[in-house]
Amino acid sequence: MLSTQSHLRVGMVGYAFMGAAHSQAWRTVNRFHDLPLHARMTAVCGRDEAKVAAAAARLGWDEHTTDWRALVARDDIDLIDVCTPGDSHAEIAIAALAAGKHVLCEKPLANTIDEARQMVAAADRAAASGVRSMCGFNYRRVPAVALMRRMVAGGRIGDIRHIRAAYLQDWITDPQFPLVWRLQKDKAGSGALGDIGAHIIDLTQFVTGQHITGVTALTETFVKERPLPQASSGLSAAAGDGNGSAATGLVTVDDAALFLARLDGGAVATYEATRFATGRKNGLRVEINGSLGSVAFDFERMNELEFYDATGPSTEQGFTRILVTEPEHPYMSAWWPPGHGIGYEHSFTHQARDLIEAIATGAAPAPSFTDALQVQLVLDAVLRSAGQGSGWTDVEPILAEVAA
Ligand SMILES: NC(=O)c1ccc[n+]([C@@H]2O[C@H](COP(=O)([O-])OP(=O)(O)OC[C@H]3O[C@@H](n4cnc5c(N)ncnc54)[C@H](O)[C@@H]3O)[C@@H](O)[C@H]2O)c1
């Protein structure tokens, strides 16, 4: 039963890295954005009673539970926010949609194409009765990225020729870093590819309005065996069992993925996703070159957008650094005076803002599960290409038969 009040009562599953980021978003969204619905942090779910109780108190949730099925079944929850690793996204999201709850699901949507298609089918069934679903590609909501899309759509760089995208991290360069869930295929689906490559696939398709149709790819796993973890959260972990054990396990995902792509609007692209770019912490960079100019974004300078306008006099041409902090810039009127920048967490608040607005107005939020399935199909094409000596591989069409 959905709330008839002006509240959107949220139940969140998972309370670590993304759980904290999403909690911050639900906590702040109505304090800065004027919205028709008020997010209420009703209950958080985790598997360990003591840890989830502590997380609920720390992050600001009214209640906690260790049973996500009970959470999904509650009458006083309107939306389920899925912040767990990919191996549980499909089960939780499909159950929540079947129970009539709106769903926000972290990326990548699922670990396999089959799961992603089942999730799209469940979302389509639920949408018929006004239940909404969205995937958490939060980088779309960085104001400079949203501005980039606006400028590209407005024709400021003309016809798009090149897309150059890289997402560079270095948190597992140490071979003694333990075998956390992100390094296990059954839990994560893939490695750097699905974790961070998925973001630049979504971001570039979002900005250009073009979709990847085919790829030639390679992947590499530099460190093939690692110590088992003692504890982990997000991108940090401790090795060993606390008794000096040296037990190890095999890494079953890619450490790095690189691919060339063609897009349906005629652009060509290069993508690089790696966790071995020593010195690069969260280096998400995208540059798009068009017939009339270029735009470039670097997350480590997330309040800025570079713009090259090739239509002006040659004597005055050069890349312009746009400080994306004016109230006329996407999302920025809710925050601080011009020049007072925002950070990583704000992309999640903007995500919550857009989802609440869609739910309140009856609009379909984006990225939809179908949009996220399309990203999943690109990930799948990359892995198939890499598995067959980098041969050219078409992305499977989105409209395929879905098992009921
Ligand atoms: N949008 C982004 O920028 C971004 C960044 C990091 C992670 N993610 C995505 O968010 C998801 C979670 O990643 P994370 O970094 O927060 O992981 P994490 O390891 O920090 O946290 C995972 C949480 O899920 C809980 N959990 C695991 N399995 C569960 C189950 N079966 N039932 C209930 N709880 C369970 C864990 O106890 C923990 O609280 C992943 O899909 C990941 O790809 C997205």
Please state the pTM of the whole predicted model: 0.96
pLDDT tens digit string along 41-92?
999 999 999 999 999 999 999 999 999 999 999 999 999 999 999 999 999 9
> Does the structure show a pLDDT above 80 at 328?
yes
Q: Whose CA is nearest to atom 15 of ligand 1?
A: 234
Determine the pLDDT at residue 403.
45
Q: Is the CB of 24 under 6 A from ligand 1?
A: no
72-100 b/e with 16+ CB inside 10 Å = b?
A: bebeebbbbbbbbbbbbbbbbbbbbbebb
Segment 121-133 shows an average pLDDT of 98
Q: Is the CB of 276 under 6 A from ligand 1?
A: no
Q: Whose CA is nearest to atom 33 of ligand 1?
A: 46
Closest C-alpha among 219, 312, 200, 215 to residue 268: 215
Q: How many CA atoms lie within 13 A of 384 on its CB side?
A: 15
The model's confidence at residue 236, banded by pLDDT at 50, 70 and 90, is confident
Dihedral angle over CA of 274, 275, 281, 286, nearest 10: 10
Determine the pLDDT at residue 235.
78
The model's confidence at residue 240, banded by pLDDT at 50, 70 and 90, is low
Is residue 303 within 8 Å of 336, Cβ to Cβ? no
Segment 292-307 shows an average pLDDT of 98
Torsion angles phi and psi, residue 368, rounded to 5 = -75, 170
- In angstroms, what is the span from residue 131 Cα to ligand 1's centroid? 23
Give 403 or 62, the one with higher predicted confidence. Answer: 62
Q: Whose CA is nearest to atom 29 of ligand 1?
A: 84
Pocket perturbation via mutation, ligand 1, pick of 84, 88, 281 by most ligand atoms within 8 A of CB: 84
Pocket perturbation via mutation, ligand 1, pick of 23, 49, 83, 203 by most ligand atoms within 8 A of CB: 83
Q: Is the CB of 358 under 6 A from ligand 1?
A: no
- Asked whether the CA dihedral 202, 203, 209, 215 is positive or negative, the reply is negative
Is residue 356 within 8 Å of 39, Cβ to Cβ? yes
Is residue 332 within 8 Å of 304, Cβ to Cβ? no
Segment 315-336 shows an average pLDDT of 98
